[in-house]
């Protein structure tokens, strides 16, 4: 069907295709084309993603995907009652591996220059409300599970562990509240283009594609914290050198302010990894996937003490100036 869309609406006949994870990409000459289903994406969101992708391209980000108009000049096409857009990248030679922190800082610098008003994908100042909503949803699921007395091992783990992670959530929410009350953000703390969830592999793919559908508008601390979280859980006993290298690379371009450090820490306090594991379990389509997530949950619970130590020493390891930064006593 994707080939049909390319030929019918865009008059493009691909020379070949490749599988990039779950995504099929199509090649013609030096161009890479990706068809994105957008039936359930709001029009305002599509407009904003188009605007910011054009902005990033204008600011010389050669890896960003750009929207392609069909012959009639429209960017959105409808095929068999489903909506799609087409993204285009230029094929690039894989360069030497660069410091991800430094690349991310340059990405954030470009994103901070955007002039248009962002609303649909804006997440600035919304962490607390989002976390509270997510926590309340999970708490309702926990109460239901307690009443049902399940036999599945995963749900038993969920029932036993939730009160502990509830405490972490409450601390994260309070930490953001205190940060917003204590500190006036600097100009460098203004919003930028971030990722829904930034991780190490996102920019390590051989094609080096930066997809606008991965993006939100937020404080840079979002991306930094999620990269650090991923780094820690990839190698919890040897994460320090890589994390330090990343943060030093980032700060060679942008200084991390006190406000930023505190938002990064608040985000690390919030156990997003725990929430994601539970949500993935209940949406998993195979038993093998559920079993994998059950083992992941066991590791999170087993190693929660080590994660507390990581949080306790994070500022010191990261090289942050902690003179005015509050430390959580119970960790």
pLDDT band (50, 70, 90) for residue 205: low
Taking the model in full, what pTM does it have?
0.95
pLDDT tens, position by position, 178-195: 999 999 999 999 999 999
Whether 164 and 284 have beta carbons less than 8 Å apart is answered as: no
Domains of the chain: 15-96 (3.30.200.20), 127-318 (3.90.1200.10)
| pLDDT reading at 297 higher than 70 | yes
What's the whole-number mean pLDDT along residues 288-296?
97
What single DSSP character describes residue 207? T
Q: Coil, helix or strand for 218? A: strand
pLDDT at 97: 67
Q: Tokens 């962490």: give the residue.
A: 127
Pick 21 or 104 by higher pLDDT: 104
pLDDT tens, position by position, 82-100: 999 999 999 876 666 689 9
Whether 115 and 52 have beta carbons less than 8 Å apart is answered as: no
pLDDT tens, position by position, 99-148: 999 999 999 999 999 999 999 999 999 999 999 999 999 999 999 999 99
Task: Give the separation between CA 60 and CA 55, rounded to whole angstroms.
Answer: 9
Helix ranges (DSSP H) in 59-118: 100-112
pLDDT tens, position by position, 156-170: 999 999 999 999 999
pLDDT at 95: 62
């Amino acid at each position: 069907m994707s080939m049909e869309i390319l030929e019918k609406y865009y008059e493009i006949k691909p020379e070949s295709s490749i599988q990039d994870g779950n995504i099929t990409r199509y090649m013609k000459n030096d161009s890479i084309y990706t068809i994105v289903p957008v039936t359930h994406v709001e029009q305002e969101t599509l407009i904003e993603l188009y605007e910011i992708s054009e902005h990033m391209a204008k600011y010389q980000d050669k890896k960003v995907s750009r929207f392609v108009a069909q012959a009639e000049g429209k960017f959105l096409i409808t095929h068999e009652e489903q909506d799609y857009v087409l993204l285009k990248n230029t094929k690039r030679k894989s360069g030497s591996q660069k410091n991800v922190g430094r690349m991310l800082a340059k990405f954030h610098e470009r994103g901070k220059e955007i002039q248009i008003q962002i609303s649909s994908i804006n997440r600035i100042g919304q962490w607390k409300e989002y976390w509270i909503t997510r926590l309340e949803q999970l708490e309702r699921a926990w109460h239901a599970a307690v009443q049902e007395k399940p036999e599945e091992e995963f749900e038993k783990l969920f029932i036993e562990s939730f009160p502990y992670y509830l405490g972490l959530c409450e601390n994260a929410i309070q930490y953001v509240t205190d940060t917003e009350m204590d500190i006036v953000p600097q100009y460098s703390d203004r919003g930028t283009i971030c990722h829904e969830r930034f991780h190490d592999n996102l920019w390590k793919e051989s094609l080096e594609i930066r997809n606008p559908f991965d993006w939100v508008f937020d404080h840079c601390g979002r991306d930094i914290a999620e990269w650090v979280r991923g780094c820690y859980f990839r190698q919890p006993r040897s994460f320090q050198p890589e994390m330090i290298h990343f943060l030093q690379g980032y700060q060679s371009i942008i200084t991390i302010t006190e406000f930023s450090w505190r938002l990064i820490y608040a985000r690390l306090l919030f156990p997003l990894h725990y929430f994601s594991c539970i949500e993935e379990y209940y949406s998993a389509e195979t038993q093998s996937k559920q079993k994998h997530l059950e083992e992941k949950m066991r590791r999170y619970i087993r190693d929660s003490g080590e994660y507390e130590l990581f949080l306790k020493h994070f500022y010191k390891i990261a090289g942050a100036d902690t003179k005015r930064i509050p430390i959580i006593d119970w960790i």
